[in-house]
């Protein structure tokens, strides 16, 4: 009985905490998706991550950096070491400096981080109507809803046939309507359209499919240790469970001679 009480109390405290922290975030209707990495044993779908990386590389990367991902990290989404070398070599790194003190260009190696599309913030803003495209490495953890948010935002643009004149009227110059973005005005135009690119694994590249793939990829980029975390968790929790049961019987036995 007391144990039940204890557990109920603990659950109560855990239960109300995340709820009221979330309450501060404001409400948007997110389009909730099923993700392979959800749940107790959740894992990343390597194929999906590779498709997502392709979307990032061919679409997002023209404006958005991915500062915390090095080419070597891509081995974790299923590329071989040689493939990451080839992938890296397609990028150029500006290195300081050679023996003469001159800046020189060299092909990237797996140890390099994915280069930023812009040399500096001012340049990025100047190229984007004053807006700074944010780094995407942690986007999936930096917004309420995580991958659901990223997916919904990319898909959050109105159907041109259905968009109302009011939507257009409210917008500031160079801004676009987005149902999910805070304030509903976003500096990024719609980026994904059906058949924008061709997937090497033959998946049908609908806009929604690409959005889902890139959201999954960005969730991996934000939380690359997710699989290890959940797998470790299962083992730790099993051990703790057995430990707790043994501790319970030990306690009962030790206490057997104490009259209540």
Partner 1 sequence: MSTEKSWGTQAFDWFEERLPIVSFIDNTVGSKYPAPKNLNYFWNFGALAGFVMVIMILTGILLAMSYTPHVDHAFQSVERIMRDVNSGWLLRYMHANGASFFFIVVYIHIFRGLYYGSYKAPREVLWWLGIIIMLIMMMTAFTGYVLPWGQMSFWGATVITNLFSAIPVIGDEIVTLLWGGFSVDNPTLNRFFALHFLMPFVLVGVVILHVWALHIPGSNNPLGINATPKDKIPFHPYYTAKDVFGLGVFLLVYFTVVFWFPNAMGHTDNYIPANPLSTPAHIVPEWYFLPFYAILRSIDDKLTGVILMFGSILILFVIPWLDTSRVRSATFRPIFRVLFWIFLIDCVVLTWCGAQLPEGIPLILTRVGTFWYFFHFLVLMPVIGWIETPRPLPTSISTPVVAKPAE
Which of 46, 68, 87, 125 touches partner 1 by CB under 8 A? 68
Residue nearer to partner 1 on the CB measure, 193 or 248: 248
Residue nearer to partner 1 on the CB measure, 43 or 229: 229
Which of 8, 126, 189, 236 touches partner 1 by CB under 8 A? 236
Total Cβ atoms within 10 A of residue 243? 10
Q: What is the largest CA-CA distance in the chain?
A: 87
- Residues 157, 128: Cα–Cα separation, whole Å: 18
Long-range contacts of 231-236 (CB under 8 A, 24+ apart): 231/41, 234/40, 234/41
- Residues 74, 58: Cα–Cα separation, whole Å: 16
Which of 2, 100, 161, 202 touches partner 1 by CB under 8 A? 2
Residue nearer to partner 1 on the CB measure, 145 or 205: 145
Q: Smallest distance, Å, CB 221 to partner 1?
A: 10
Pairing of strands 92-95, 185-186: unpaired
Residue nearer to partner 1 on the CB measure, 142 or 189: 142
* DSSP H stretches of helix in the chain: 2-22, 46-58, 81-89, 121-127, 147-154, 165-170, 207-222, 226-255
Q: Smallest distance, Å, CB 94 to partner 1?
A: 20
- Residues 178, 154: Cα–Cα separation, whole Å: 9
Which of 5, 96, 97, 172 touches partner 1 by CB under 8 A? 5
144 counts as binding partner 1 under rule CB under 8 A: yes
Cα torsion through 28, 33, 35, 39, rounded to 10: 70
Which of 93, 109, 131, 138 touches partner 1 by CB under 8 A? 138
Give 96's contacts (C-beta < 8 A, 6+ positions apart).
Answer: 103
251 counts as binding partner 1 under rule CB under 8 A: yes
Residue nearer to partner 1 on the CB measure, 43 or 225: 225
Give 17's contacts (C-beta < 8 A, 6+ positions apart).
Answer: none
43 counts as binding partner 1 under rule CB under 8 A: no
Which spans of this chain sit near partner 1 (rule: CB under 8 A)? 2-3, 5-7, 9-11, 13-14, 16-18, 20-21, 23-26, 40, 68, 73, 134, 137-138, 141-144, 182, 222, 224-225, 228-230, 232-234, 236-237, 240-241, 243-244, 247-248, 250-251, 254-255, 258-260
């Amino acid at each position: 009985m007391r144990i039940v009480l204890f557990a109920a109390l603990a659950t109560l405290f855990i239960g109300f905490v995340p709820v009221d922290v979330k309450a501060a975030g404001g409400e948007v209707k997110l389009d909730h998706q099923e993700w392979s990495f959800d749940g107790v044993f959740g894992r990343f779908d390597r194929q999906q991550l590779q498709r997502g990386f392709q979307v990032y590389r061919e679409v997002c990367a023209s404006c958005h950096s991915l500062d915390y991902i090095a080419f070597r990290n891509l081995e974790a989404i299923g590329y071989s070491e040689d493939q990451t070398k080839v992938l890296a070599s397609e990028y150029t790194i500006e290195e300081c400096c050679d023996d003469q003190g001159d800046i020189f260009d060299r092909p990237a190696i797996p140890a390099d981080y994915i280069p930023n599309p812009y040399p500096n913030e001012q340049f990025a803003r100047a190229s984007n109507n004053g807006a700074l495209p944010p780094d995407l490495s942690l986007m999936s953890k930096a917004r309420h809803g995580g991958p659901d948010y990223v997916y919904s935002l990319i898909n959050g643009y109105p159907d041109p046939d259905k968009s109302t004149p009011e939507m257009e009227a409210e917008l500031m110059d160079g801004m676009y309507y987005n149902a999910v973005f805070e304030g509903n005005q976003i500096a990024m135009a719609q980026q994904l359209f059906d058949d924008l690119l061709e997937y090497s694994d033959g998946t049908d590249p609908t806009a929604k499919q690409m959005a889902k793939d890139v959201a999954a990829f960005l969730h991996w980029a934000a939380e690359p240790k997710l699989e290890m975390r959940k797998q470790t968790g299962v083992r730790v929790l099993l051990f703790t469970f057995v430990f707790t049961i043994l501790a319970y019987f030990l306690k009962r036995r030790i206490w057997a001679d104490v009259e209540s």
